[in-house]
Structure 1
Amino acid sequence: MTDTAIEIRTQITRLRALSDGTGLKGDYADALQDGADRLRDKLGKVADRYEAVAVKVSAWAEAVEDAQHQTAAAHRAATAAHDIITPLDALPEADLTPTQKSDLDHARASLIRAQAAFDGAVGDYESDARRLSGAIEDLLDDSLEDSCWSWTSNLLERNAAWINEALEIIGWIATVVAIAAVLIACAPTAPAWLALAASWAIAGAEAATYGTALVHTALAATGNGTWADVGLDVVAILTLRMGKAAEQGVTAGVDATRVASRQAAKDAVSAARAEQSGARQEIARELRNRSIAKPRRQFLEGQLKRMNARARAAAKYPSQHEPEVSAADVFNAGGSRESAVSRKINAHELAKHADNPAVQEVTRRAESHAVRNQQAFVVGSTADLADKSLGSSGIFERKPSVKPYDDAKNSLRFHTSWLDPDIGSPINARAQT
């Protein structure tokens, strides 16, 4: 086992030289260096184990050899005693000479001592065996095979190829679903069931984004993926959350705008009637005169009706009808038809009450949410489409890609050693105990 450990150490030295990249050129260099570095670390753990176990096995071999020597000596002594005892036991005791009796007694005592020596050697061997086997089991029960991290890392490494392909397929599906949802939102005559299906598809794509982020993080942490993919997933999640929050702000802003617009309309009626107050009092005073001529009374009553109509005309109450929106309006609203409708309603109400501070304030807040929704939509879509356009593909082999972009992403592919409890496992320290 010691020779095996020495050979492994030799291979580790060669792998270290290979991972340093000396003389390596071409597209394979980075992948080869990364693989050599990872294999070097694993072989280092194997060599540590071999060296530590070799110490214990050598000690066990010494215990076996000692036991063999002691039991062999006891067997020889017992055989010699047996050879003396057997013929003397066959004679009658009365026929034994004093010398024969003495030899028989010494042979029997020698046989007892040989049995005790044999039993002691076997007992010592069994004790050493239990102690050394326990020590070896402790050495084997290490992170090289029992760590949850190692198990997960090895599992991901063995399946990294098809996992990355599956993640890419899911990413393309999510992109297609998002584009389809925007197109459906832009269509003015899309049936309700299609819009509902699009909303469910978007929810599924969002859930897939969270799952993809978790898997990408696991791959990157174990050195089987790049942290650039994790960063893109984070951008996607953040823009999704920001877009949802902004869209809710736009929708809430519509309700606030309508409340402010309704109050502005009531204030306008009150102001118009206040302006007509003097004329109204004069007409009322004259109408109270019962001697007024009928034509004059009719004229005054008509004038009062016209004044009421002008006051009511000053009231610009908010419309409850949904305005028409174009595809451009939907796209500018971050791909949400609801946000596009809300923005147009806000614009209409602001145009009716351009001089009202309350309406101006609520429409300004609603518009700020609409702008954030648009920004989140643009940032998320740009990052996703740029990655799919510039990066290489594991499922579309002939897809064109930009090599510097792939190189930049691969530069963020490294093993996060501070997450790995297996690195620096003190096997040698335990081997000395």
Structure 2
Amino acid sequence: MTRPKDWHPLRESDPLPGDPEGIRDQVRHMTKVAKYLRTQAAALHAMADADNLKGRYAEKLGEEARGLGRRLDEAEDRYREVKGHLSDWADELEDLQKRADSALEDAKEAQHVIDKPAAKAGNGSEPDGGTGDGADDDPAVERAKEELADARKRLGTAEGDYLERSRHFARKIRSSIDDDMKDSFWNDVKGWIADAEWLETWTERLSWLATAAGIVAMFIPAVGWLALGLTVAVALSHLAMAATGNGSWFDVVMDIGALKLARNGLKAAKAIKALQRSSRRTASGVARDGAKTQAAATNAGARRAAARAGRKRGATSRKNRENARARRLRMENRNRTAGRRAADDVRDAELPPVNARETVGTIGDAQVSRQMKDLRKWRDTYPDNAALSANADEAQRHLRVLQGSWAVGTALDVGDKAGDGVSGGEYDKAKGRMEAPVGQW
């Protein structure tokens, strides 16, 4: 039975939630489980009482079979009692919800009658000679207000009965399961995850969001961290479901593979960035030395002349010698300044711009594309420098790792999502064969 969504004018939301048919489905399932347990218990008791067992193992086998049979009997008793309580609660819940729905229907009709005079007044039509007071004296409105108050009272009674009966059946169910069979904490965890149907739904949604974020990250690299976070969340959810027997370990393996590939891609991108910075430092040093050497070659003759004048004795005055030394020092300082300026120009230069085609080569990451172009630029500018060539080659290797990680990860993701449709359901069946809770391999 579908529950009403709009509870105005009585409540903001459904005050008596629950699904009687869903409870009855569980009761039918528990009936089958109880029947199966009863059959197995009878078989174990028969094995324990058999006279044809001979040998030293017979007594031990009979004792173990008898003990297991008793535990199955206890489990069958638990299922039988609990399904009885659930069946009774489903019937009472359905009756209470019918009472609440009836009150809601009457309240909506009464509210409709009450709203009519107000709507007319809002449209400029004034009943009772245009005084505007006639709505309060309208007998139909008065009756509607009484019916609305009665509906509220009926709903309040139904809600109170709902709370009282739900607590009653909760106590009876707790009493039925409070037997010699003790559930471990792990059993409670497995039961909670098995009942959390929303977990599988949200895991599927997060998986699609992670895929979408990965595509967007090709154009907005910062979104890559969101994609990674979503992938981690999906992996943890799949691990929880697989460990409790509610999911496939194949999904966990796929998630680990995706995270490993993402980690490889991130490491490759970081390595490219580090190599680009190293090449900038190296190129800056080469540019400094080159500019300094070129400037020194330009004024080499003047510096030698100044040096000789600074050392000359005899007719040359002391002041002339000091002036010559000062000229030499100024020229040497200009040479160093030229070197520093050239080094600064290399170090502070903007990364080269890239076009769309170049960006595709780095899986949409424009920053990595610019870094790769910068590495090649300085390698080609100073082709004789071994360090710059080595950095460019190493960066190219890391780029291939980045491209390969993205390609394999994308192929696995698309294959996993499309596998069931392509295989006609066989893919999910194969994954289902890899379901086993921790402790039951």
TM-score, normalised relative to structure 1: 0.50
Higher relative contact order (CA 8 A, sep 6+): 1
Q: Which has the larger radius of gyration?
A: 1
